[in-house]
Amino acid sequence: MYPACMESKFDNPRLAINRVYTRTGDAGETSLAGGQRVPKDSRRIAAYGTVDELNSFVGLARETAAGQLAIESLAGILLRVQHELFNLGSILATLPEDVHPRQARITGAEIAQLETEMDRANEGLPALRSFVLPGGSRLNAELHVCRTVCRRAERIVTALAREEPVPAEAMKYLNRLSDAFFVWSRWASHQSGAPETLWEPNRAASGGAPSGGTLSE
């Protein structure tokens, strides 16, 4: 998924995929970018595998955003994030001693850009008076899925960092990105006029308030 030939952040990757299946993983092992064979359930594989999973959900949210004029600018941001996540996966799939000097990676520039975009999106949003629940629009829910998968990726990378060297920027980026998904979910709802779903503790079955609906036979 993240071959070692993808070295440069500035050049087109030198890559040719002629056959998807290789049969080399049938025994439960896979190769890192440097060629080392490791179990598929190892923490490093779980780390970049979850980043890959996140990338798929970001792609889904990007397609939803692209079809809505009021928020189509978000689609471009999400596309950039997808490229950044692939760069992050490339680094996580490479042991530190095998990282090429020009290999694509996450830097302080990517983190700073997320912070700038969050600040800009937050400027016009109403203050929160309660926690929010995912929903109100399809894109809002999809961005919350991205947020929670990103948090899971961050937890796995944090655990990996206790065992093996992990670039500090990788952990910082995932932390900022999960916050960004939350801000973007609110921004998208605000821009499109979709209502935010606020948490109401007493809406629970034990709270005494109407449940909001019942199933009919």
Q: 87-120: per-residue pLDDT in tens? A: 999 889 887 666 677 778 899 999 999 999 999 9
Predicted pLDDT of residue 72? 87
Residue 27, pLDDT score: 46
* Alpha helices in 123-167, H assignment, sequence order: 138-161
Which pTM does this prediction carry?
Answer: 0.83
129-147 per-position pLDDT tens digit:
889 999 999 999 999 999 9
Q: Which segments of the chain have a pLDDT < 70?
A: 1-41, 96-99, 208-217
- Judge whether 54 and 149 are in contact, CB under 8 Å: yes
Query: Which of 167, 144, 145, 142 is closest to 47 using CA atoms?
Result: 167
Predicted local confidence at residue 9, as pLDDT: 46
Spatial CA neighbour of 168 closest among 111, 86, 94: 111
